[in-house]
Homo-oligomer: A and B are copies of this chain.
């Protein structure tokens, strides 16, 4: 059984700025995987390519040409992004479309709100 499920929005509604107060252990363990998933150049670019692609979604064939990596490797990175809930996946015919999940992105972004106060 491959557990390729996309993590739902449990982790996505619970976070404020890192600077506001010390984040608690549970929050940290929920959010860190999202940052970790984005902490690879290929996946960061994939996220950006998907976000800035027409309609906010892109199929694998749209993304592949931007990389020197093999197709299985790209597929693997997309699975990582999907597993942590940063992107959604939808099959339409032969193609699989990946789309950004704004709530997850916003959750990560909120960590850095008002971080400019220090």
A interface residue numbers (CB < 8 A to B): 18-23, 25, 28-29, 31-45, 47-49, 51-52, 56, 66, 99-100, 102, 105-106, 108-109, 111-113, 115-118
A39 and B41: CB pair below 8 A? no
Task: Give the number of times this chain occurs in the complex, counting copies.
Answer: 2
A45 and B66: CB pair below 8 A? no
**In the docked arrangement, what's the CA distance between A43 and B33, Å?**
12
B44 and A18: CB pair below 8 A? yes
B44 and A28: CB pair below 8 A? yes
Residues on B with beta carbons closer than 8 Å to the beta carbon of A38: 32, 35, 39
Known: A23-B44, A39-B35, A39-B39. A18 touches B51 (CB 8 A): yes
Known: A25-B45, A31-B44. A115 touches B51 (CB 8 A): yes
**In the docked arrangement, what's the CA distance between A37 and B99, Å?**
25
Known: A18-B48, A38-B39, A40-B32. A112 touches B116 (CB 8 A): no
A106 and B102: CB pair below 8 A? no
Q: A18-B51, A32-B38, A109-B112 are in contact. List 8 more A-B contacts (CB 8 A).
A: A18-B47, A22-B66, A23-B45, A32-B41, A39-B39, A56-B118, A106-B116, A108-B112
